């Protein structure tokens, strides 16, 4: 059967191996010796030494934890002490090839040697008593400085009369891997956006010609900064029916408001217009925009708007709403629309954490 399969394609070839006493599965070799089942660590003969290099741009804590993690994995899988000792020597050699210091390797090995294998085979119970806040950020050259600054001034947060009791413990710092040359030069996501148009793609916001929001669109591929006046290029094509977008509202005074919506943008614009028309203090219609229009005696027909950006669908299935909120925050800072320079009354860092 294998020979027939190998004849069907010139470059794809299959191999096989079999035994009555042992079998390899993933990273484990299961063998039967004198009626006893043993397990050993399995590694393909063609496998390269792909341990993370000690000079790799990762958090020092991550690199320090790798040797211990690998020795724990080896001890958990390997059922015979003699075989485990062989694996330890192999791992030590591989770590040294990747630049790890002997002290780091030996300390990790000694620590794992003190842990009984029976304990490693038991499933760890989650510690629900730990209520530490997790601070997640992308690792960079300033991460250590930022961590030290937060720890240094954490007592100031704890001293707050209103919220201090919520921050009794310092946060746990976790880091995401930063963008590498591999990500830039060899991206795993090689998709190409398909377009129905053969000519140059339009950019900016254009009317759908079927709603009452079309007449108030700020058309074109550029907008002017609400307070400073310089031009800003837009990089998306949108209509009144576009969804998951960040939009700009402008009043006759020139002040701007940046918002976001996951619905069709025309529905959100219509809500803003209704709030302006039906403004009443301390009700649902009392928003920063409607209040400004009421005080300045503007009307809803004077409201102008356009789409600034979008959170496109990612086939990997990330949190699109969170990405939309991040984009909104960036545009609020870019256009300076926070009160008193604009009509946004607040913005949150929560989507970035």
- If we measure between CA atoms, which residue out of 73, 67, 315 comes closest to residue 190? 315
Render pLDDT for 51-71 as a digit per residue (tens, 0 to 9): 889 888 888 888 889 999 999
Sign of torsion over alpha carbons 314, 318, 319, 323? negative
8-state DSSP, 344 = B
233 with 306: CB under 8 angstroms?
no
pLDDT of 8 strictly over 80: no
β-pairing verdict for 231-233 and 172-176: unpaired
At 348, the pLDDT band (50, 70, 90 cuts) reads confident
* pLDDT interval class at 48 (50, 70, 90): confident
Q: Note the helical H segments in the chain.
A: 2-7, 60-77, 81-97, 102-113, 117-121, 143-158, 181-185, 265-277, 288-295, 320-335
Q: Is the pLDDT of residue 197 over 60?
A: no
As beta bridge partners, residue 23 has 30
- In angstroms, the CA 135 to CA 258 distance is 27
Widest CA span in the chain = 93
For the segment 278-314, what is each residue's pLDDT rounded down to a tens digit? 999 999 999 999 999 999 999 999 999 999 999 988 7
Instruction: Say what percent of the chain tops pLDDT 70.
Output: 95
Reading the block at residue 73, the tokens are 């994995």
pLDDT digits (tens, 9 = 90+) for 222-257: 999 988 889 999 999 999 999 999 999 999 998 999
Q: How far apart (Å, rounded) are the C-alpha atoms in residues 316 and 182?
A: 18
Whole-Å CA distances, 263 to 6, 110, 165, 271, 350 = 53, 58, 38, 12, 21
Residue 344 confidence (pLDDT): 93
The pLDDT of residue 75 is above 60: yes
Average pLDDT value for residue range 141-164: 89
Whether the predicted model's global pTM rises above the 0.85 cut: no
Strand partners, 172: 134
pLDDT at 11 over 80: yes
Residue with tokens 């201090």: 164
Strands 134-138 vs 172-176: parallel, antiparallel or unpaired? parallel
């Amino acid at each position: 059967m294998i020979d027939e399969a190998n004849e069907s394609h010139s470059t794809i070839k299959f191999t096989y191996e079999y035994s009555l006493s042992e079998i390899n599965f993933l990273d484990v070799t299961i063998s039967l010796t004198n009626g006893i089942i043993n397990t050993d660590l399995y590694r393909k003969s063609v496998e390269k030494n792909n341990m993370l290099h000690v000079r790799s741009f990762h958090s020092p804590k991550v690199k320090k934890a790798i040797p211990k993690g690998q020795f724990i994995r080896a001890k958990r899988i390997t059922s015979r002490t003699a075989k485990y000792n062989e694996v330890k020597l192999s791992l030590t050699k591989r770590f040294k090839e990747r630049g790890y210091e002997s002290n780091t390797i030996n300390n990790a090995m000694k620590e794992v040697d003190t842990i009984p294998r029976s304990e490693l085979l038991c499933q760890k119970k989650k510690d629900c008593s730990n209520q530490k806040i997790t601070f997640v950020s992308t690792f960079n050259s300033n991460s250590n400085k930022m961590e030290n600054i937060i720890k240094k001034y954490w007592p100031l947060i704890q001293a707050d009369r209103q919220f201090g009791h919520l921050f009794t413990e310092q946060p746990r710092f976790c880091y995401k891997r930063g963008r590498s040359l591999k990500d830039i030069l060899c991206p795993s996501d090689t998709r190409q956006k398909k377009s129905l148009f053969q000519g140059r793609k339009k950019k900016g916001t254009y009317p759908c010609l079927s709603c009452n929001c079309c007449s108030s669109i700020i058309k074109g591929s550029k907008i002017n900064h609400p307070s400073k006046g310089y031009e800003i290029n837009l990089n998306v094509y949108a209509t009144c029916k576009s969804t998951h977008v960040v939009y700009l509202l402008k009043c006759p005074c020139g002040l701007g408001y940046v918002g976001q919506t996951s619905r069709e943008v025309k529905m959100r614009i219509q809500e803003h217009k209704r709030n302006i028309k039906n403004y009443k203090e301390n009700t649902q219609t009392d928003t920063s925009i409607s209040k400004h229009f009421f005080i300045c005696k503007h009307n809803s027909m004077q409201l102008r708007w356009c789409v600034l950006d979008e959170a496109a669908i990612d086939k990997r299935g990330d949190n699109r709403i969170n990405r939309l909120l991040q984009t909104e925050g960036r545009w609020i800072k870019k256009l300076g629309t926070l009160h008193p320079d604009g009509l946004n009354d607040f913005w949150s860092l929560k989507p970035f954490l």
